[in-house]
Amino acid sequence: MLASLWNGAQLLFRPYPYFRDARTTWRAPLPGLGSVLVSADAALVAEAARHPGLVGGRAHRAMRATLGDNHLIVMSGPQHRLRSRQVRRALQAFSSDAEMAAVTRKEFARTPLGRPFSLQQVAHRASLRIILRGLVGQDDAELVGLCQDFQASFSSPLVLFVEGLRRDWGPWSPWGRLLRRRSRLNEALIQAAGRAPADTIAARLPPETWAQELLPQLMFGHETTAATFAWCFALLYEEARRRIRQGDDGFTLAYVQECMRLCPPVAQLTRVATQEVRLGSHSLKAGEVVMPAIPGLHHHGWSQSERLRPERFLEGTPDPHRYCPFGVGERICPGKPMALRQLVMMLQSVLQNFDLRLLEGYRPCPVRQLFLVAPARGTPVVRHA
């Protein structure tokens, strides 16, 4: 019991060191999951991704409780493959580069001069508006407000492991408030989807999937983008600033990819054994979990792994089981191309139009924000004239 709580605390509050500093594969008791096989071994992760006896989605209990139990992230097998194809096709309708840049400039133009603010919070607003426009063709104040209310309902990462916190004791209880805000947001999204223009994501999804997919795609789409954007600024150095400002798309993309290698917003994946499974020299019983450790995979086996060097992504394509910020195998996030393009456009738009500098003395460190890992304080910056 004590070992399980200790490992759970490390996973919550020290996600990068926990996965990077240990040996590449080990057993760890974790709250709610039992004995988990944790691995930062790319060969073992590749084997796990292909193994027919291991499925994704089933271990996401907190995610099911938070975002519903019938969406892409928690599905597995043929159902997951069908939904993934539907979502991937629909995401081709995502916003244009010009629209992404315009929304980003508008949000950052509202930031104060000479006073520190959280870069992540502003990126949240910009990315939220961009994704709402792509999803349902509108980002009116009411819809944005409902999204922000829902997000404010579950700031504590403890709900990941403490099932007792996920209890509805009425509208004034934290979980009860979350469920009611989720219901209002879902209803508004479905109504907006029914009126969505033909060039939106919602219009390209079968109507029966609206209720299941709009909320998860919205929340994960802009949450991960904002966290990654904050890391990109927290790690920014002058030569990178210059090349991004010049509009060097290839370098900007490589810079984003390298920031996601050093500081992945998602720290771990899960696969659940549906039968007795053998992975290398390790055995799993039916129901046991294998957990690919993304920070460890992004650390072990890389040349100068602690160094921020975007050029490595201009020199070749990394092993997809050693570099996996968007997942592995058939469960790679269908929004990957959209997210990377959005980050490139947002970074270039901000650096070309605003002089933002890190708050003096700030040192970024990773903090858990429910399902994601972001820089502490959301990367505080100061905007200069």
Tell me if 142 sits within 8 A of 112, measured CB to CB: no
What's the rounded mean pLDDT across residues 347-351? Answer: 97
pLDDT digits (tens, 9 = 90+) for 33-63: 889 999 999 999 999 999 999 988 665 666 7
For residue 243, name the pLDDT band (cuts at 50, 70, 90). Answer: very high
- Token code pair at residue 163: 């099932």
Which range, of 63-72, 281-290, 374-383, averages the lowest pLDDT? 63-72
Q: What are phi and psi of 248, to 5 degrees?
A: -75, 95
Q: What is the pLDDT of residue 160?
A: 56
Q: What are phi and psi of 341, to 5 degrees?
A: -65, -40
The pTM is what? 0.91
- Residue 274's CB is within 10 A of a number of other CB atoms, namely 16
One-letter amino acid for residue 171 of the chain:
P
pLDDT digits (tens, 9 = 90+) for 171-210: 888 888 888 988 898 889 888 888 888 888 888 887 777 6
Rounded Cα gap, residues 72 and 84, in angstroms = 7
Tell me if 291 sits within 8 A of 36, measured CB to CB: yes
Q: Domains in the chain, ordered, with CATH?
A: 2-372 (1.10.630.10)
For residue 159, name the pLDDT band (cuts at 50, 70, 90). Answer: low
- Token code pair at residue 72: 């892409």
Q: What are phi and psi of 70, to 5 degrees?
A: -140, 45
Highest mean pLDDT among 84-93, 150-159, 181-190, 233-242 belongs to 233-242
Which residue, chain included where needed, has tokens 């650390």? 299
226 closest CA partner among 62, 104, 382? 104
Q: What is the pLDDT of residue 157?
A: 61
